[in-house]
Amino acid sequence: MAKQLTNAQRLDLISKWKVPPGRSEQDRLERAERMVKEAVRQHVPFQGLDITVAAKGSYPNKTNVRGDSDVDIMVKLNDPVHVDGMAAWWFGQPPGYTGPWTKEKLRQEVHVALTDHFGSVDADHNLAFYIPEVSGSRPSIDVVPCFKWVVRDQTAPKGQYEGSVVYGRDGKKVINWPELQLANGREKNANTKRRYKVVVRVLKNVENDLAEEGVIKALPSYFSECLVYNVPDRILLAGDFDDAVRASLLEIHRQLTSTWFGAQRMVEPNKMKKVFGTGQKWDEKDAQNLIVSAWRYLNYES
């Protein structure tokens, strides 16, 4: 069983954890993003194309914590647009598209661009290219080559939702919604007087501690963000920061154990995907272990 903090230790750590990583760490993350942008800008085959190079995940969402400060960057080709439907499902490209920018071509050119700029690039991963850390300069970088992905929906702004799709070396297709995650997270953070991201950072730090002690298995940091996103704003706003963390753990546990399929209604911050289901790197048991262990570790039983 993990150690249990005293009340004083918990309050001290929450005060520490609510602050995002410092300026020096932020500088390292920004440097990594600039370097990937420069690699793409200098690569001749990409010149003149509509390409978005941007960080995604905890860094732009400002939910990153000390010790988790690698950076994920997407290199997204916006034309051709990949769309929902049978043609896109089977062929991995827009219906009728006959141009050169296939998924294989995009991956190959991103690899060349990164190798020319960084030198050492690990291309053996299924989805991303991995660029090792340079101590004191920048963190490790995962670079994901992807296409713009569109789902038509008359209820959405401009009649569609926009995300990204990456095709793995094994043929697996993964759809992400980084822009929606960023916008929805900012809105919830504003609505909760910045408490949403504070509670996310607290839970991420607790998960790191529990995993290091072997109490739970290590989980993706995004998982904590998903769980806290489902806490109603009114709960995050009640009391002080300590009250918000305590009440959030109770609410997440209530949803996970609800007999009315509460866990199955939980959504990712992008609101496009369910937290639990096929293709996720976690399940409901992982969530329950995390929340129950966090409750004990933070000594909310007393």
Q: What is the DSSP track for 27-82?
A: HHHHHHHHHHHHHHHH-GGGTTS-EEEEEESHHHHT---TT---EEEEEEEEEEEE
- For the chain, the distance separating the N- and C-terminal CA atoms, rounded to the nearest angstrom, is 17
Query: How far is residue 248's CA from residue 231's CA, in Å, rounded to a whole number?
Result: 6
Specify the DSSP element, H or E, that contains 165: strand 160-167
Instruction: Report pLDDT for 199.
Output: 97
β-sheet bridge partners, residue 174: 166
β-strands 71-83, 51-56 pairing? antiparallel
Query: How far is residue 212's CA from residue 209's CA, in Å, rounded to a whole number?
Result: 5
Instruction: Report pLDDT for 302.
Output: 66
Q: Which two tokens stand for residue 36?
A: 């990937």
Cis peptide before 80 (omega within 30 of 0): yes
Cα distances from 192 to residues 110, 250, 277, 300, in angstroms, run 39, 18, 28, 22
Task: Go through the domains of the chain in sequence order and give each one's CATH number.
Answer: 23-176 (3.30.460), 183-297 (no CATH)
pLDDT digit string (tens) for the chain, length 302 residues: 568 999 999 999 999 998 887 788 788 888 999 999 999 999 999 999 999 999 998 878 888 887 666 789 999 999 988 887 654 555 555 666 778 999 999 999 999 999 999 998 999 999 999 999 888 788 899 999 999 998 887 787 778 889 999 999 998 889 999 999 999 999 999 999 999 999 999 999 999 999 999 999 999 989 999 999 999 999 999 999 999 999 999 999 999 998 787 899 999 999 999 999 988 999 999 999 999 999 999 999 86
In this structure, what DSSP letter does residue 85 have? S
Q: What pTM does this model have?
A: 0.90
β-sheet bridge partners, residue 165: 147, 175
Instruction: Report pLDDT for 96.
Output: 67
Q: Give 122's contacts (C-beta < 8 A, 6+ positions apart).
A: 129, 130, 131, 132
Instruction: Report pLDDT for 89.
Output: 54
Instruction: Report pLDDT for 58.
Output: 85
Instruction: Report pLDDT for 10.
Output: 95
Q: Exposed, middle or buried: residue 8 (CB in 10 Å: 0-12, 13-18, 19+)? A: exposed
State phi, psi for 271 to the nearest 5 degrees.
65, 10
The amino acid that residue 280 corresponds to is Q
Query: How far is residue 117's CA from residue 100's CA, in Å, rounded to a whole number?
Result: 24
